[in-house]
Amino acid sequence: MRVLIVEDDLIIADGLVRALTQAQYAVDHVADGKVALRAIQEGVYDLVILDLGLPAMDGMDILSQLRQTHHHTHGQSVAILILTARDELHTRIKALDVGADDFMTKPFHLEELEARARALIRRSKLGKNLPLQCANLSLDIASKLASIHDQMLHLSARELHLLETLMMRMGKIVTKEQIMESLCNWDSTLGDNAIEVYVHRLRKKIDPSGAKIRTIRGLGYLLEAAQAHPVA
């Protein structure tokens, strides 16, 4: 996953580059608006973290140029997170209206920014029907095929639905009720025990991938890469 940070405050930019690189993203940084616009239009980024107050070209202008160039699909499809010291409501509304996908004001918590970045990238990947990825486990939403290191996983229909439900909400707790809804059609129901059986089977099948299904007692299940930090 490739991220571009457009930020002229070098201390903030440095912190972001280090945090996102540690989180396994490929990260580039530019401090100038015009350079940023050219870089984004080349279309190699999954996410842009964009400051509004920039030299050479304002972030809001970059945003509107990207979203207006309908013929330029890269500018249209890249996820954009606005990060700015301007916290007035009208600025937030304008940025979202112009085409920002999310908006955060400084000062901010790195953990929250990383969570929002993950959510935006996941959402944009779903829109493009690209595979969802957790550690070495991959799921192609369009073809309904799961694989580990490009080796096909043989899953039953219900195991596949369960995996899709967990991967769509990666890093978040999925309740038994949500799993039940995704596994059942209108004329069948599943008990808690049946869900536990499917989770157990799926857990064994995905184990070699480094993706783990954690049981959050009393709440549900959570899919994450094995080395991920526990949820607070």
Question: What confidence score (pLDDT) does residue 185 get?
Answer: 54
Q: What's the token pair of residue 187?
A: 């004329």
DSSP 113-177: HHHHHHHHHHHHHHHHTPPEEETTEEEETTTTEEEETTEEP---HHHHHHHHHHHHTTTS-EEHH
Give the whole-number percent of the chain exceeding pLDDT 90: 42
Q: Which domains are delineated in the chain? A: 2-128 (3.40.50.2300), 132-225 (1.10.10.10)
pTM above 0.85, yes or no: no
More confidently predicted of 206 and 184: 206
pLDDT of residue 126: 67
Angle (deg, nearest 10), helices 59-68 and 33-41: 20
Other beta carbons less than 10 A from residue 76's beta carbon: 14
pLDDT at 142: 67
Q: Which band of pLDDT confidence, cut at 50, 70 and 90, is reported for residue 68?
A: confident
What does the pLDDT read at residue 88? 85
How far, in Å, CA of 212 to CA of 202, rounded?
Answer: 10
11-36: average pLDDT: 90
Structure confidence at residue 189 (pLDDT): 66
143: pLDDT strictly greater than 90: no
Looking only at the bridges linking them, the beta strands covering 145-148 and 151-152 are antiparallel
DSSP state of 214: E
Nearest partner of 121 among 109, 137, 135, 133, judged by Cα: 133
- Answer yes or no: is pLDDT of 30 > 90: yes
Residue 73 has pLDDT above 60, yes or no: no
Q: What is the pLDDT of residue 71?
A: 39
pLDDT given at position 181: 72
Rounded distance, CA 100 to CA 98, Å? 6
Q: What is the pLDDT of residue 1?
A: 74
Predicted confidence at residue 184, as pLDDT, reads 66
User: What are the pLDDT digits (tens) for 79-124?
Assistant: 999 998 888 889 989 998 988 999 999 988 988 999 999 888 877 7
The span from the CA of 87 to the CA of 36, in Å, is 22
Instruction: Judge whether residue 42 has pLDDT over 70.
Output: yes
